[in-house]
Structure 1
């Protein structure tokens, strides 16, 4: 049976461009694929015929030979066909070669085969730096110099990884794809290229300083600005200040995580500050004035009401922490802690005992509590 014209098989004219031939092949291959034509006994033969036509027409040299000699170009060693006797698909290697092209078209978008798989350069890793600051520094903000151990571009090869700054060469094994294909029966399996380890490039003479990586380990000093209002958990991103990319790739980012040190006077709750202030028993009972510190280094005078109890709070508006993104300052809360005197002298003890006899009606919380206790006991007896 005479072979059909390859152009007729693909449904294109003789003057069709390479793109037109590939599109036609893609369309025909999907249409005639045996898996999609289980009820058509001729589908496999037609599918092979389409692949044979595409194998001949996709290559400019083979196409020129076919245009001049027809099918005879691939028979008896004539012309530049380089195929097998009796046709261009005498073995699975040719079939795999042709099918890999359509495989790229059909699935390239999902695995980055259309150039995206060419990993000429790799982005550097992001780095994390934990920075502890004082509450005062968080209140005022600060500029600080930190030392970050990281990978930086190699000065010897200018980050290329090649001796003398030469450009890396396209990997001869995978042609720059970073992957190689192996035929397993009807399917084509992709694996990471063993020659370039997926990079897509090889270096003939690696740089003696970085051994072909294009970067070296080094400590780098960075001056950073910490804005006022930061708190534990605040994250600051410095774009491009992370690890240098591999073989000239873009650098990663540096993330600075803030942790506030404990303060001996103040505790923080968002933008608000809390300060526990001890007061003498007499000041709590009689009232008075109290001078307290503020986070800005100043002082504020607070009036203690007569009869204040432990735990009573007073607010100083605007004396808290600034907002990280503006919005004014929080407040500062003073919490009173009435202090019981210790190491009393005999005279002080005598005066307190006399005071206690005269103050039975001056302790409302005690009276209420013991009245409730008496009712509880009476109820238990009943």
Structure 2
């Protein structure tokens, strides 16, 4: 069976099981399908015979844990993007790219074939163990005040990540010595395993994938060539972040190896609550108390903002409790640099005590508005009338 067939055939689909199926589920499905499609039970039916061969082939791979793992790893490299019949359009690629067959087009790395990129996984020519590698992603957390979260802030982060050993500069060899090319894999870092028509690459058991063998190891890293790097970076947290949000700072993670790009830094933000302001999307919110006369007769009230400069909001006569007014441009900073709004909700304040004069005035007001019942028809609406 060719490598192309190995990638093209979905053995899980052939057996009608999921990719997470247990060995018992695989065996049960195989027995059921094998009985139904066995040539003895379908004499003269070439389709059943071909189906029986496919079922047997799929079972031979999936029933063997090692072969199943190798099969899964090989197919996962392409994320399900292989399309039978070749072609480099959306949804597929040409296997000529992978194995260097005639008719293949340039791979995604600017002219390199996919066989180069995957380092000879399928027994083709591959790169040495010194190929470039992207740095690891790092995750940390920070705490911001409410104002910092709304407008943005700069923070210092002390990061520890895997890096080349500072003593041996990543060679793994003791000072004055050098590593030698692994004799087992000839420096490629991998060795091939023949699976009967399909060659699968694995990390070299001698050098563990490095391609080099260290005879006199560095005392600092014990020959691994790796150490821990600690560094402090300054990073800008954009405005408008929310409590618990996880933001990505591209290229601020661990440094890459052999010219590879740096990883990313992920920061989980914790925002301290504010005693007055809240947040709704890119807008800030605030509740402002007004007196009963202000709500009834109208007024102009001063409203604080997050930057400390108050604004004046006009309350029209007859404003009900809970009405919200919008103040443009006084909210949180958006990603594009613009600013959201401040949403001001009025809350009619009810006095807890009244002077005799105030009580008398309210009694007169109640008498003058006795014919205005705000609950008129309430019971009827409750009954659906």
Task: Give the TM interval when normalised to the shorter protein.
Answer: 0.5 to 0.7
1:190/1:271 Cα in 2 relative to 1: closer, same or farther (>3 Å)?
closer
Instruction: Give ranges in structure 2 of 5+ residues lacking alignment.
Output: 1-98, 102-113
- Among 366, 369, 377, the alignment partner of 1:371 is 377
Q: Which residue of 2 aligns with 1:132?
A: 143
- Separation (CA, whole Å) in 2 of partners of 1:191 and 1:345: 89
Cα distance in 2, alignment partners of residues 194 and 373 from structure 1: 84
Whole-angstrom CA distance in 1 between matches of 2:262 and 2:221 = 16
1:8-27 equivalences under 5 Å are none
Name 2:321's counterpart in structure 1.
310
Matches within 5 A, 1:141-160: 141-160=152-171
TM-score normalized with structure 1 length: 0.59
Aligned match of 2:366 in 356, 373, 377?
356
What TM-score, normalized to structure 2? 0.58
How far residue 190 of structure 1 moved from its aligned partner, in angstroms, is 4.2
> Does the 8 Å contact 1:161/1:247 carry over to 2?
no
Question: Are residue 177 (structure 1) and residue 188 (structure 2) matched?
Answer: yes
Measured in 2, the distance between the counterparts of 1:350 and 1:207 equals 93
Map of 1:87-166 to 2, 5 A cutoff? 108=115, 111-113=118-120, 116-120=126-130, 122-164=133-175
**2:288–2:347 CA contact under 8 A, matched in 1:** yes
The residue that corresponds to 2:105 in the other structure is none
Match of 1:332 among 342, 363, 384: 342
Contact 1:125/1:243 (<8 A) preserved: yes
Determine the structure 2 residue equivalent to 1:42. Answer: none
The question of whether the paired residues in 2 share the 8 Å contact of 1:271 and 1:331 is answered with: yes
| Displacement after TM superposition at 1:257 (Å) | 4.6
- Deviation string 1:144-166 (CA, Å, 9 cap, x unpaired) is 21222323432212233222275
For residue 174 of structure 1, report the CA deviation from its aligned partner: 1.5
More helix, by proportion: 1
Q: Which one has a bigger Cα radius of gyration?
A: 1
2:307 corresponds to 1:301: no
Match of 2:247 in 1: 235
| 1:359 Cα offset (Å) | 2.5
**What CA distance in whole angstroms lies between the structure 1 residues aligned with 2:348 and 2:170?**
67
Displacement of 1:374: 4.5
> Are 1:193 and 2:193 an aligned pair?
no
Separation in 2 of the partners of 1:192 and 1:331?
57
Shift in alpha-carbon separation, 1:168–1:235, aligned structure 2, 3 A = farther
**Equivalent-residue separation in structure 2 for 1:198 and 1:184 (angstroms):** 20
CA contact (8 A) 2:247 2:267 kept: yes
> Structure 1 residues 356 and 193 mapped into 2: Cα distance closer, same or farther (>3 Å)?
same
Mean CA deviation greater in 157-166 or 142-151:
157-166
- The equivalent of 1:264 in structure 2 is 275
Separation (CA, whole Å) in 2 of partners of 1:117 and 1:342? 81
1:360 is paired with a residue of what secondary structure?
A: coil
Name 1:341's counterpart in structure 2.
351
